[in-house]
Copies of this chain bind each other. A is one copy, B any other.
Amino acid sequence: MKILVVNPNTTASMTNKIARAARAVARPDTEIVAATSQAGPASIQGFLDVATCVPGLLEEVARHKDVDAIVIACFDDTGLDAVRTLVSVPVLGIGEAAYHAASMIANKFSVITTLSRSVPGLENNLMRYGLAQKCARVRATDIPVLKLEEGDPATLSKIRSEISASIAQDNTEAIVLGCAGMADLMAQLSAEFGLPVIDGVAAGVTFAEALVNNRLGTSKIGAYSRS
């Protein structure tokens, strides 16, 4: 099968990291088509970016019509409802996928994300999906998204310190890494802290494979119908 993994920001280096994370978990016979939005913000931080990235995302989706499933590789799940309305194949946001995965393996999870101003949007998504009650807390590291690309050791250290705080204060049982740019840290942090650490890109790709294997697509009656 062919899965479109679309980065709704315009930073190609993030797309590369996302593509690696996607291919690392995909089945041998799954083709990952990684696409970068051609227009819109360089990173998605806060409600304005969440809205303005959508046209570029929709264009990218329209450009790849022959795919079996779509993963929107932004942790804010930008444009999720719009893309679902546009197509009939399954569509997953990586935030959504990560929350579902966390709910299947832990009683409570916490999310470690980038800037504080992204927290309310993630909290809204969790409420919308019904999974807010499974989330102990959404924590911000106050690391800008693109800073994650630079590989600064201080960055990893801030993420580590929020994971520690989450275990001590939130009684969390699993950690969701709340940014596509953190995808490469999953294994290392899980081993270090002794609890599941979930990356949304990997969750999104494997759940997309699962839905395709179930021969399930986006429902076209009701919310996502076009007529």
- The interface of chain A, by Cβ under 8 A from chain B, is 25, 27, 46-48, 50-52, 54-55, 58, 79, 81-82, 84-86, 90, 92, 96-97, 100-101, 103-108, 116-117, 119-121, 124, 127-134, 167, 171-174, 187, 190, 194-196, 198-199, 202-203, 206-207, 209-211, 213-226
Contacts and interface: CB of A to CB of B under 8 A. Distances in A.
A92 B103 CA distance: 10
A103 B152 CA distance: 38
What DSSP secondary structure best describes chain A's contact surface? helix
A85 B46 contact: yes
A203 B213 CA distance: 9
A154 to B, nearest CB: 20
B216 A198 contact: yes
A207 B213 CA distance: 10
Closest 8 A/B residue pairs (Cβ): A206-B210, A107-B223, A51-B82, A47-B81, A120-B223, A173-B222, A106-B219, A173-B219
Each complex incorporates copies of this chain amounting to 6
8 contacts: A25-B214, A90-B105, A100-B104, A116-B222, A131-B131, A173-B221, A202-B214, A209-B210
A171 B225 contact: no
B203 A210 contact: yes
A124 B128 contact: yes
Given A48-B85, A101-B216, 20 more contacts: A25-B214, A46-B85, A47-B224, A51-B82, A52-B82, A100-B103, A105-B211, A105-B217, A107-B222, A116-B171, A116-B222, A119-B223, A120-B222, A124-B128, A171-B222, A190-B215, A194-B221, A195-B219, A206-B209, A210-B210
